[in-house]
Structure 1
Amino acid sequence: MRRLRTERGLSQGDLATAVGVSRQTINAIEVGRYDPSLGLAARLAHYFGLLIEEVFHVDVD
């Protein structure tokens, strides 16, 4: 997600505001400390115009 965000010239705060979460939440997702809820994952994917699977690695184990 960090790559998608930086390619678009967005700060963590910009992205957080766009999807309705805190900057700290975006940071925690980017560094792997937090797995977003399905709703948040969907909002992030929609924001980038992608499928959830294109934004996040889905671990089925």
Structure 2
Amino acid sequence: MEEKEMLIKIYNQQDRLDVAQILIKNGYTVSQTKRARVPGGKTVDYFLKVKLDEENAKTTK
């Protein structure tokens, strides 16, 4: 099975933590990342980087 990664943009830190917790409990590998909204800009967007981890999915019952 091909592993696909996706980015989910979530502005609020507590919301990111809540969503990450749910995804981890359901077998996903989750990390936080940020990037400038425009190249060289000071404003950043925050994302959760999410990938289904089949090995974790088998142990999260």
TM-score when scaled to structure 2?
Answer: 0.29
TM-score, structure 1 normalization: 0.29
* More helix, by proportion: 1
The one of the two structures with greater contact order (alpha-carbon pairs below 8 A, sep at least 6) is 2
Richer in strand (by share): 2
